[in-house]
Amino acid sequence: MIILGIDPGTTRIGYAIIEKKDADNLDLLTYGCLEVKSKEQKERLGEISTFISGLIAKYNPEALAIEKIFFTKNAKTVINVAEARGVIINNANSANIKIFDFTPLEIKLAVTGYGRAEKEQVRQMVCRILKIEEKPALDDTSDALAIALTACYTSPKLFINQ
């Protein structure tokens, strides 16, 4: 089972692709962060769509794990992130990919065992679990890795045939 984990945003999209072979065997296929160059939102959305469809075409994931929006401060930001998230989900729907979304609390709990863990604790656990020697520089990247891992740990329906 190949899982695409996404940390949605408007100028940065964290991504990670993990293959879960069985309960104890995870392979990290790729990860990183798309830094969106466009200034206008409609152009950003096109850039995000092109990038995500490229990942889907290259890796053929069977599941998309994406973070739920959890903002309370800036309405404009939340709308822009929601639009980006919608574009990503639409790409997954078009490719008939199962979609799972998780709150930040669910992600932290799945990866660290503590729902109020700090970002650095999440980053350290992600690196330990996936045997990544050099910690990702951007939170967006480590968050995407954590989101993909959350799907591996909390979505047993994905793996019934294994």
pLDDT at site 22: 78
Domain housing 117: 2-159
CATH number of the domain bearing residue 67 = 3.30.420.10
Mean pLDDT along residues 106-121: 95
Q: Give catalytic residues, as residue numbers.
A: 7, 67, 140
- For residue 117, the Cα-to-chain-centroid distance in whole angstroms is 18
Asked whether residue 35 carries a pLDDT value surpassing 90, the answer given is yes
Please give the share of the chain, as a percent, with pLDDT higher than 90: 84
pLDDT band of 66, cuts 50, 70, 90:
very high
State the first-to-last Cα distance of the chain, in angstroms, to the nearest integer. 9
State residue 70's pLDDT score: 75
Number of structural domains the chain divides into: 1
Pairing of strands 25-35, 63-67: unpaired
- Report the side by side order of strands in the sheet with 98-102: 25-35, 12-22, 2-7, 63-67, 98-102
H-type alpha helices, the chain: 41-59, 75-94, 104-112, 119-130, 139-154
Q: Give the model's pLDDT for residue 21.
A: 86
Distance CA 70, CA 59 (A): 28
Q: What is the pLDDT of residues 122-140, one digit of tens each?
A: 999 999 999 999 999 999 9
**Res 160 pLDDT > 70:** no
Rounded Cα–Cα distance for residues 14 and 121 (Å)? 18
Average pLDDT, the chain: 92
More confident residue, 129 or 73: 129
